[in-house]
Chain A
Amino acid sequence: MIALESRAELAAERARLARAALADCRLCAHNCGVNRLAGERGRCQAGATARVFSAQIEVGDELELIPTFAIAFSGCDLRCAFCITGADSWNAHRGEPFDPATLAARAADAHTVMILGGEPTIHLPAALEIAAAMPEDMRLVWKTNAHGSAQAREWLAGIFDVWLADYKFGNDSCAWRLARVENYNAVVRENLLWAAGDSELIVRHLLMPGHVDCCWRPIAGWLAENLPGVKVSLRDGYWPAWRAKRTGFLTRSEVGRATGIARECGLHLIP
């Protein structure tokens, strides 16, 4: 066995393994087991070929990560009613095919490269191919919904410098109602605990109107107890979009209350 030393070599080798594994796809926790190489579709509806619906320099993410070259894959394994990118995220056939080397050239001026979606986990082979094309010293950010499987984590180990992971719902009832996902909290927690040992971890929570007590409070408590000191990005830019147009806006009072909870829990909030 030849030792693989560089990130590019490691990522390229794992991309090949991950692509072959699409024949029995278990990249996310839905664990569908469909043969994507043969045209079967699981819950994410993604095929074997990844498509990108946006790739550009952005400065809206956490300050320590920007400017980032954000590469967004089409398709997602969750169905969040308030998804800001809506159809692009849900439809794995939107966007365009891409060339990893071209993306790497366009990313040259950025501080980091962020791979996101939709959800990049369902396109792990393509994500690893992009990682393989990036310069060794480029900081790579894995922006994920943290709903990946143990198999996906095995192929991601040591490739990304930062995991920027969402923790969206603080209870499984809200997770099912708003994103049609079962067993959400157990899966996310498993991913977060693993990521904290693999790379830098930033946990992101998007505050939702009416969900400060049922979602944010238990998340904050769990983070304080299980990942003390972890960087937490509390986002207050809830955008009533897609299928959540009737849910209304986040109020200033809710943002204040959420910040108070973070303070009570001693969380390490980052801008």
Chain B
Amino acid sequence: MKRRIASAELLILPDGKILAHNLTPEVAAVLRELNSGDKQMKQRAARPKRDELSART
């Protein structure tokens, strides 16, 4: 298949909750900046790549 630009979708609900679909690392980083208290998004934005994981084990 042709290489496509990665895409993600966001939906902001009336109560301010943000839903993300096909969350890419780059979008996770943006969401982490929007809400620095979101621990899970912090983890998602910071997930190491495979070679970094192997180096630790």
A95–B2 Cα gap in the complex (Å)?
10
A106–B15 Cα gap in the complex (Å)?
38
| Stretch in A27-35, A55-63, A217-225 with 4+ CB within 8 Å of B | A55-63
> What is the number of contacts between chain A and chain B, taking CB atoms within 8 Å?
72
Residues of A within 8 A of B36 (CB): none
* B22 close to A109 (CB less than 8 A): no
* B24 close to A249 (CB less than 8 A): no
Name the residue of chain B whose CB is nearest to the CB of A71: B1
* B24 close to A58 (CB less than 8 A): yes
What are 14 pairs between A and B in contact, CB < 8 Å? A52-B1, A54-B4, A56-B24, A57-B25, A58-B23, A59-B23, A66-B44, A66-B47, A98-B1, A106-B3, A108-B50, A109-B50, A109-B51, A110-B50
Q: Does B34 contact A (CB under 8 A)?
A: no
Binding site for A on B (CB under 8 A): 1-4, 6-7, 11, 13-15, 19-25, 28, 40, 43-45, 47-51, 53
- Within the complex, the shortest CB–CB distance from A144 to chain B, in Å, comes to 18
A41–B49 Cα gap in the complex (Å)?
40
Q: Does A97 contact B (CB under 8 A)?
A: yes
Residues of B within 8 A of A102 (CB): 1
- Within the complex, the shortest CB–CB distance from A49 to chain B, in Å, comes to 12
- Within the complex, the shortest CB–CB distance from B46 to chain A, in Å, comes to 9
Residues of A within 8 A of B24 (CB): 56-59
Q: Does A111 contact B (CB under 8 A)?
A: yes
Residues of B within 8 A of A108 (CB): 50
A66–B40 Cα gap in the complex (Å)?
12
Q: Does A271 contact B (CB under 8 A)?
A: yes
Residues of A within 8 A of B23 (CB): 58-60
- Within the complex, the shortest CB–CB distance from B40 to chain A, in Å, comes to 6
Q: Does A99 contact B (CB under 8 A)?
A: yes
- Within the complex, the shortest CB–CB distance from A250 to chain B, in Å, comes to 9
Q: Does A237 contact B (CB under 8 A)?
A: yes
* B7 close to A54 (CB less than 8 A): yes
* B1 close to A110 (CB less than 8 A): no
A1–B7 Cα gap in the complex (Å)?
46
Residues of B within 8 A of A103 (CB): 1
Given contacts A110-B50, A111-B47, contact A239 B7 (CB under 8 A): no
Given contacts A59-B45, A98-B1, contact A239 B21 (CB under 8 A): yes
Taking A59-B47, A67-B49 as known contacts, 9 extra A-B pairs with beta carbons closer than 8 A to each other, sorted by chain A number, are A56-B22, A60-B22, A63-B44, A66-B47, A96-B2, A102-B1, A109-B50, A237-B20, A239-B21
